A and B are shown apart, each in its own frame.
Chain A
């Protein structure tokens, strides 16, 4: 089967740094994406890694190690508004629209 594993919940304080891990087991791999979803809202795209290494976008960074089938999302200088669910997603095929999502990690930021 195909699966993505993420922690279900993470708690951190304002101003801190938090890392959300994602390990995947898929038939193919053509990139790892991260999405943010606030309660009741639509998921919004955060970042994407196709190659190994770190991608930085402001306070958010995403890392990929294809040899370890592993990636993470790093959130720095946490703000209360970062409280949300975060999903990793793998594009498992090069020519179809199929994305496989993890179950999501709920991040709670405390004052």
Chain B
């Protein structure tokens, strides 16, 4: 089954404790993105990647890091999480041909205390 997976789905952590949210897709898509969703603010892009070793900042990259060492994986790293990073996070992927249809992962609900 074609899908985007994220782990963990839920995470409660404390300020300053480094964490990584994994994202993996099995559709051989070139493009991958991370979004955060907050009430009233819609989906805001954090980082995106157009291919292996090619990443760029989205609209809200501060406090986040990403890497794209393999085509299928695009982890999101919070080196020193803060309470304002409490949010619902979505990973998404799409291919270079049907670039208008993004496939989203199930989401990761992160709470930073």
Contacts and interface: CB of A to CB of B under 8 A. Distances in A.
Contacts, number: 60
Interface size classification for chain B: 20 to 34
Interface string B74-113: 0000000000000000100010000111111111000000
B93 to A, nearest CB: 10
Interface of B: 31-33, 35, 40-45, 48-50, 56, 58-59, 90, 94, 99-107
B101 A45 contact: yes
B45 A99 contact: yes
Interface of A: 31, 33, 35, 40-45, 48, 50, 87, 89, 91, 96-104
A12 B81 CA distance: 41
B50 A97 contact: yes
A65 to B, nearest CB: 18
